[in-house]
Structure 1
Amino acid sequence: MSEFSIPLSRVMGLERTLENGGTATCTLRRPDATLDVQIRVENDDTTHHIKVAMGPLSSSMTMPRKLATKCQSLRDFLQDLANGRADSGTQSDEAIALMEAQESVDGVLKAGQTAYVITTVNRDRPLGAVVTNDEGEVCAAVTGASKEHLAEAIRAKLWPVQEGLGECA
């Protein structure tokens, strides 16, 4: 038996509802069935509050508005619910680590820059980040061993130390 899934492109279509709040319907599919999910989003300045109902099942989640992977997180949440995974209402250690790393990296960005934090396959440097500017150009790409290490690596790329500063004549 295959699982219910939703294409990422469909979830990306829900981005407007995420940003502006409101309601939307999303259909999850598997070869032998479809499932309509009712989604309600309420926003405050820093957080998305998401409530979903699929048939008799309902659940909710909260995520930061600045989270770069929020569409993917919403997709995973919906698929977990539809497929009966009991832990779908809680965030995994990896998801929490990514959100904390995102917050750390966001703290060192210049105005007009956006960071995308991901996990890597490198055990020594399990976190990665790519920073882009408003034009979509890559400003920095680094990996790190921890959220602090990642933020410091981004800071070093974005705010290089200028030679000669602090020297006495």
Structure 2
Amino acid sequence: MSEYTVPLKRVMLLQNALENGGTATCPLRRPETTSDALIEVENDTRTHHIKVTFGPLTGSLTLQRGDSSKYMALRDHLEELANGRTESGRQSEQALAMRQALEAVNAILDPEHEAYISPTNDAKHPFRVIVLDGLGDICALTKGHCKDQLVETVRTQLRPPSEGHGEHP
């Protein structure tokens, strides 16, 4: 899997967010997907206090107002958080994989079904998916290591049983 990057043309967005404060949304891209980071900036006379939220992860950073490389430092911080290279970004890959798996499972469900995903302690099967019907009954339950495996297992479990088993009365 390739890494998230902030497109160079978005550095101007980062510059504007730092100078004016407030909130901004910055897309981070990799070939297979784009995800947004929410940036909140509070300024005082000497520093920029920044909080970044990327999916379930958050990170913070303080930059000096007079630093000419602060925009690049913010860009680097966003990329490090998204790619799991900061302490708070360590779960980034697992969190993104879980979100992608849930989206993939939801894509095959009928409207009356609802899927839930959670991490497990099993390194070989790090994700658990439970699918409920409108009454709250479990329709599918599986553990797996990737979204494709989870989708296929849920699809198989939700497939209506074939009528009869080739038996004749």
Question: TM-score, normalised to structure 1's length?
Answer: 0.49
Q: Which of 1 and 2 has greater Rg?
A: 2
